[in-house]
Amino acid sequence: MFGQTGSEDFALGLQINPLTDEPFLRLASPHENIIITPPRVGDDEHLLTLFSDIRIAAWLYPIPIPFTLAHARAMLREAKNEADALLNEIRHLNTEHPDSHPRFVGGCPIRCIREVQNDGTDIFIGYITVHRGIYADVLDETECQIVTEENSRKTVGDPSIRWSIRFVLLPSYHGQGIMTAVISRVVHAWIVPRMNGQYIVAFTFAGNIGSERVLQKNGSVRVAVLEKLVRGEKIKVNHMEWRTQNA
């Protein structure tokens, strides 16, 4: 039996840790020991460990190499501010409309993947982010800026919004189906019901077979192979798309 069983907060659409009051999503069996939480104070050290691992960083862009503690602190500060604002917004909406169906929100406050131990403590093992869409497939800079701005102006809950998903897991946890389950949980428990997300893109380096398969197992299809200049080299990049009709 794993710790952090929690009770469900129906306004948030998340479980709540009864000891810390932290919201989280738990994966289904056989990965019920994996939870996804908002960022915490102190996660900068975990982010540093994750993104300074060249086995990970080499497959990611625009993660800088080398990835330093300053980068990790800046990443955590931005992530925590976004997550806290979203959770506060949800609680405020619920206070104003306590009897209505949960309102759509413009982001995902949970992004830190953790393995819960039998004693209730947990270990940081990965990271997932959801943001308004990246247009790496639009090669003309002016056109890219235009479509990015158009996407950013769309009203929260608009089903035509392009969302982008990025994800990473410590290498020692690869090959266990964890990230496939994480993406499925985030998409179907949060992006679709709480954001009305209907269209998600991801971009993976062509040699990153593992990430491509994870996306395909969740219904994404490869729609193009692009050639991008990454860290001074021309790299082939898979353009992956998920739409509700693919699910």
Nearest to 170 by CA among 159, 157, 186, 182: 182
pLDDT at position 190 is 96
How many CA atoms does the CB half-sphere of 124 hold within 13 Å?
20
- Going by their DSSP bridges, the two strands 34-37 and 23-26 should be labelled as antiparallel
The pLDDT score that the predictor gives to residue 87 is 95
How high is the pLDDT of residue 171?
96
pLDDT at 247: 53
In this prediction, residue 103 carries a pLDDT of 85
Q: Angle, to 10 degrees, between the axis of helix 69-96 and the axis of helix 43-51?
A: 130
pLDDT score for 1 = 37
Q: Distance (Å, rounded) from C-alpha 136 to C-alpha 235?
A: 13
Which residues of the chain register pLDDT less than 70? 1-11, 97-100, 246-247
Q: Tell me, what's the pLDDT at 170?
A: 97
pLDDT at 2: 46
| Among 31, 11, 7, 33, residue whose Cα is nearest residue 20 | 7
Reading phi first (left if > 0) and then psi (alpha if -120 to 50, else beta), residue 184 is in alpha
Q: What are the phi and psi torsion angles at 11 (to 5°)? A: -70, -40
The whole-angstrom separation of Cα 27 and Cα 142 is: 41
State the pairing for strand pair 199-205/112-116. unpaired
pLDDT in tens, 93-146: 877 766 667 789 999 999 999 999 999 999 999 999 999 989 999 999 999 999
E-only strand ranges, the chain:
7-9, 14-16, 23-26, 34-37, 112-116, 122-132, 163-169, 199-205, 221-230, 233-243
Reported as type and span, the H/E element at residue 79 is helix 69-96
pLDDT at 232: 87
Q: At what angle do helices 178-186 and 209-217 cross, to 10 degrees?
A: 50
Asked whether the beta carbons of 24 and 4 are under 8 A apart, the reply is yes
